[in-house]
A and B are shown apart, each in its own frame.
Chain A
């Protein structure tokens, strides 16, 4: 019972730290980083994923194509086969230093999350490309467009429309997964609330609020996806 009766007092403590002791600044910078990592990560992921998927569906007549496809396979196997924390640690403490690259931690997180989601998105995108009627590619080729042009102008836009809900899920997953960047010392929403809690060694309210914040973010994204789906659904509507 005491757990519940003490909540108002704990809320007051949290509120004080949050509002008066710069807790909100910590939170805002954490939120900013979470959003930056997820949004830029998704962006990089879509580019990498689209390239890997597009290479994957080229008829493998040439050796170079087969080689590129193999590289794509290895890439996907690596990033799907290891936890994101391991990739972050490897990237930040091993790979980047090994090549003498010294980047701010936030950039490292963006790159690693981009590479990671690229692997997942490549599989999603491949499904999307395969879901587009092969007649679309044939029609483009028959008009004299190259495989690449038809892919970019006709097939991939339709593929993206088909996978938009799945891509939205990937974004949500990404937002939630960013909560591990504290491992390599980046500040995100999660780290911010832990910091606020540490202030008075009072974690209950900060962690509850933290969960709430993630839910709100996810709800916002879900809404955004709905709106985008409706816009992109234009070409399916019966009346224009």
Chain B
């Protein structure tokens, strides 16, 4: 483990299962991922790496098991998954920048929209509290035993939509500066190179202040000369202590950055370990066979 890794679990995955129809793709995965950890997920095509990753933010709804995140089991269909997804960044192989939005709008959209939605909700709540005040005081007088149950104060609003927007824009510009693309703020994604798109997709996720970042083959759709710039950015995030789970075919990168390697084949983590253990002394014959092909 590197210095930045702590003992606070971020994701506790228990017996995670996923089927597509009759096909069982994940056959029970149990793992805990700690704050600051960098996990590289590798394995043969069709082994279930993407499915595993996509289950972690319920882009695919798990069919069994549990995933504890922020004190809730997000595999449970009753939790508000949107609220948790705000804190789980995801980066796709095909970037998926919003085509109808400029670069700046891409980065600001979710923070502004979600921030304003929360503000509106609180405003509505406050209004309800004010309107219901007379009724509550009556109930309070009648139901003396539980008097304090009827005491409710409106929450003071500390921000405005304008402030949220200004804040989001500041963050977005800071992030763009960080990757040296501030002059691209007002262009549309179709005008960018693959490497630029992917780096913007990464900072778009960062703008939400995620607790963990999920990467699904972030460099597989890139021209070789652009792979480096994207890996550099991911490496930087890792050095800053971001918790990351990265599905990748870049063995060198996995070896360099990862605290632990998960080898997923046939729907289970059939082997895992530190890069040295994993690459130097693989135990599972399946791993040996895989490594002999890719190294």
Q: Which residues of A contact B (CB under 8 A)?
A: 133, 135-136, 138-146, 149, 153-154, 157-158, 161, 234-240
Contact = CB atoms under 8 A, between A and B. Distances in A.
A138 B100 contact: no
Contacts of A136: 96, 98-99
A184 B98 CA distance: 47
A139 B190 contact: no
Contact of A139 (B88, B92, B114, B187): B92
Given A135-B92, A136-B99, A138-B92, A144 B110 contact: yes
Contacts of A238: 190-191
28 contacts: A133-B99, A138-B59, A139-B96, A139-B98, A140-B110, A141-B82, A142-B85, A142-B88, A142-B89, A142-B90, A142-B92, A142-B205, A143-B109, A143-B205, A143-B208, A144-B82, A144-B86, A144-B208, A145-B110, A145-B113, A157-B100, A158-B99, A235-B100, A235-B101, A238-B190, A240-B186, A240-B187, A240-B191
B114 A142 contact: no
Contact of A235 (B82, B88, B117, B188): B188
B57 interface: yes
B100 A154 contact: yes
Contact of B190 (A157, A161, A237): A237
Contacts of B86: 143-144
A234 B188 contact: yes
A144 B98 contact: no
A238 B187 CA distance: 9
A21 B139 CA distance: 76
A138 B96 contact: yes
Given A143-B204, A144-B83, A146-B82, A235 B59 contact: no
B190 A145 contact: no
Interface on chain A toward B: helix, strand, loop, or mixed SS? helix
A157 B188 CA distance: 15
B100 A145 contact: no
B11 to A, nearest CB: 15
A139 B208 contact: no
Interface string B111-140: 001100100000000000000000000000
A142 B113 contact: no
Given A135-B94, A144-B83, A154-B101, 8 more contacts: A138-B92, A139-B90, A141-B85, A143-B109, A234-B188, A237-B190, A237-B191, A238-B191
B97 interface: yes
B205 to A, nearest CB: 7
Interface string B178-195: 000000001111110000
A144 B114 contact: yes
B129 to A, nearest CB: 25
Nearest to A139: B96
Contacts of A161: 100
B109 to A, nearest CB: 7
A170 B168 CA distance: 40
Given A135-B96, A139-B98, A153 B190 contact: no
Contacts of B117: 149
Contact of B191 (A139, A146, A239): A239
A239 B190 CA distance: 9
Contacts of A141: 59, 82, 85
B190 A144 contact: no
- In the complex, which of the residues A144, A236, A240 has the most CB atoms of chain B within 10 Å of its own CB atom? A144
